[in-house]
A = this chain, B = another copy of it.
Amino acid sequence: MKRITISDIAKAAGVSKATVSRVLSKPGIVNKETRVRILEIMERMNYIPNQLAQGLAGAPTRTIGVVIDELSNPFFIEIAEGVDWVLNSQNYSMQLSSSRWIEERETALARSLISSRVDGVLLAPVRPDSPAIQMLKQSGIPLVIINCIPVDTEISYVTCDNRSGGRLAADYINKLQKEQTIVITGFEHQSLKDRITGFLEGFNTNQGPVRRYQGIKTFGDGYDLVPILMTRDQIHEKKTVLFVTNDNVTLGIMEHLAELSVPIPDKVAIVGYDDIRLSSMCRIPLTTVSQSIRDIGRIAAMELLDLMAHPDSPPRKHLLSPRFVIRESS
């Protein structure tokens, strides 16, 4: 199982290690014939360069780390797809991992990425002042934050304007004229707070008080919430509008409502947030605040690549505008 190294190739080709190394890193500057010959030998001997050695010696690792908050939320997966897409076209590879919304895990993942000398990282932090952000910054690795505006103003980010997204929802809901309004959120995350802030700014309080449920994080949580909403808020009796700040959760809620034959949108109107792929394809297509998720991923990846090419350019700040998409759930 002895691994073939650059020296083996050099020996077989009758050249020095340096020459072999050059065909790997700067193929241009080596004589075409020798280059071709060396390449053939590599092929024949099944040579695979040791990225650790390359990295240690200073070459870029051509991999970038992506830290998301959960694997089971399509929102993050779709971002990752966008990222993977552009990264691949540039011959970079993506290393995906999930913090599971746990700050300690996030920190550990950041350490691990620094430790393995990725060329750049994309991070969806648990908090706008997550320790991971400073660790990454100090390490000097190009960094772009996604789905969050970091408190440190020198850091690049790509996110959607959650506050105005919340407003869009409020403006729309104001017109709905329902008897009660219920807001449902998940983690204590900046993005959600902003959505709520925007929403409350825009919400016409003549419509009555807003009831709020927090900590509803997953599809399953949403599903399970429905009976509670029915007993506590009589949503099947009173005309209700639900503003749910995460489409994954929204889908869970809708499933259960549909199962129990609560008419949507007649009895319960629903406004979601994110516009994941399923939102437009589910049984009752979702009225929702659209984040152009793929774009977030694509833009973040492109900015990161650019940042890697121009390390001391000023931070890139993208606050994308949400769009309000009216479909059938409201």
Contact = CB atoms under 8 A, between A and B. Distances in A.
Interface of A: 1, 3, 46, 48-53, 55-56, 61, 63, 71-72, 74, 77-78, 80-81, 84, 88, 93-98, 105, 108-109, 111-112, 114-117, 135, 138-140, 219-220, 223, 252, 255, 258-259, 277-278, 281-283
Contacts of A81: 71-72
Given A46-B135, A48-B139, A223-B281, 18 more contacts: A1-B140, A3-B139, A48-B111, A48-B114, A50-B117, A51-B112, A51-B117, A53-B56, A71-B77, A72-B74, A77-B77, A84-B97, A94-B97, A95-B95, A96-B97, A219-B281, A259-B283, A283-B283
A115 B281 contact: no
Nearest to A218: B277
B48 A52 contact: no
B97 A93 contact: yes
Nearest to A77: B71
A53 B77 CA distance: 32
Contact of A56 (B56, B88, B255, B277): B56
Contacts of A258: 283
Contacts of A281: 219-220, 223, 252, 255
A183 B131 CA distance: 52
A308 to B, nearest CB: 14
B112 A93 contact: yes
Please give me the 9 A-B residue pairs with the lowest Cβ-Cβ distance, nearest first: A1-B140, A51-B115, A52-B55, A96-B96, A51-B116, A52-B56, A52-B52, A258-B283, A95-B95
Nearest to A282: B255
A72 B63 contact: no
Contact of A50 (B72, B115, B219): B115
Contacts of A94: 97
Nearest to A220: B281
A135 B3 CA distance: 12
Contacts of A111: 48
